Amino acid sequence: MDMLRKPVIVAATLVATALAVAPTFQAAYAQSPRGGNAQDEASEMSRLGKLAERLNANTLTIVSGNVNAAWLTVAYDLSAVLDDGDNLRILPMIGKGGVQNLKDVRLLKGVDLGITITAMLGSFRRSKEIGSNIDDRIVYITKLFEDEMQLVVHSSSGITSIEQLRGKKVNFSDVGSGTQWLLRDLFTRLDINVQEVNMGQGDALEKMKTGEVAATILIGAVPAPVFAKLKASDGYRLVPVQYYKQVQSDYLPATISAEQYPGLIQPGARMDTIAVSAIMIAYNWPKNSDRYRRLEKFVDAFFSKFDEFLKPPRYPKWHDVNLAAKVPGWKRFDAAEQWLQNHSLQENAANARAPEIRRDQFEEFLGARGSQNAALTNEQRERMFNELLEWARTRKQR
């Protein structure tokens, strides 16, 4: 076992407590004075011991996001669809976001799965902050969906563009969150100096009313629960974000629709923004280990029942997930890779079902979007074209 993976108690969900308390409770129970028939007590201890062993052997944890974002909803969906009595249990954990989740999967005992951002994997590989061998320690289960940048202001601020945030107080969400990490990177690339503040999205929305905070930003799946009920009539506004040249190496062009935020966007309209890719990761446990076996069991249940995630009331963005999509430069969990091979869902099979999108149609699409795409390099155009093909394949498979 990796000696860096130190124990922790996750108070928010009591997960670590639940996993650790069974042996302690049994020992205390065995030593405590009590009346009754000794044979009956021994039988009960045996029964409880077997139950505890079965629960611990078939339970996995996934660290997600906080209540303001969508990752916690994704984790809940995993639990709702995959829980199978004592045979398989998924325990969602409230997390701080992509940066901390990556650290937790790498370092914390009791964390089996996590959700993070693909761009962060490369950053930690370069920084070696959580080890020089992250390529051997972190594997992915599947690429998930795009997480859009959502920039919200109060109409009283008069702010209509990201450039107008220069010098103002802007909420970068919670300390340690993926949003904070990404926004520090983003504003540095755009050379826009702002005063970073860190708080929950709900708190920031209240402070925007009084002008204490100029804007709040969340990078996460749309619709985010904390923004879903906002209304323009209450003074809130979504601000569009251009696909700037400075960010095109790690971000994608995206749009937010009126269907996703009916209170903030007029019917039929769409708003430009940028996005990053979310990914489900795991620690790379040795084959034949107990932790590997648990992950293998999860993969089989998750992949086999994936169609259930496409039905109401599951989170709508499950429709954007393509299980066969690869993440360049990173290794997929062996059991997941094997499952895809056995079920003929490798990317070449998906390509065979891909709809016909011609290169000239793609170039026409870029031209229609105006000058923001005029300076794209050939490499960037090729990456965007491949992403468009992948998106189209996902839509066709629904």
Find the domain containing 338 and state its range.
15-145+286-342
Question: Tokens for 131?
Answer: 């080890």
pTM of the model: 0.68
| pLDDT > 70? residue 3 | no
In a domain, 8, yes or no: no
What is the total count of domains within the chain? 3
CATH of the domain at 178: 3.40.190.10
Looking at the structure, tell me whether residues 138 and 97 fall in a common domain: yes
Looking at the structure, tell me whether residues 165 and 42 fall in a common domain: no
Looking at the structure, tell me whether residues 320 and 332 fall in a common domain: yes
Highest mean pLDDT range out of 37-46, 63-72, 247-256, 270-279? 270-279
Looking at the structure, tell me whether residues 82 and 190 fall in a common domain: no
Looking at the structure, tell me whether residues 386 and 331 fall in a common domain: no
In a domain, 347, yes or no: no
- For residue 329, name the pLDDT band (cuts at 50, 70, 90): confident
Q: Comparing 40 with 58, which gets the higher pLDDT? A: 58
Q: Where are the alpha helices (DSSP H) in 328-377?
A: 334-342, 347-352, 359-368
Going through the chain in order, the beta strands assigned E by DSSP cover 59-63, 89-93, 113-117, 138-154, 169-171, 195-197, 215-220, 236-239, 252-257, 270-283
Residues 6+ apart with CB under 8 A from 310: 318, 319, 398
Looking at the structure, tell me whether residues 321 and 201 fall in a common domain: no
In a domain, 264, yes or no: yes
Final residue of a domain: which of 277, 295, 321?
277
Looking at the structure, tell me whether residues 234 and 251 fall in a common domain: yes
Q: End-to-end distance of the chain based on CA atoms, in angstroms?
A: 40
Looking at the structure, tell me whether residues 154 and 220 fall in a common domain: yes
Looking at the structure, tell me whether residues 263 and 195 fall in a common domain: yes
Q: Which of 288, 295, 284, 279 is nearest to 142 (CA)?
A: 279
Residue 155, pLDDT score: 93
- What percent of the chain clears pLDDT 90, i.e. is strictly above it? 54
Residue 335, pLDDT score: 97
**Range 17-28 average pLDDT:** 46
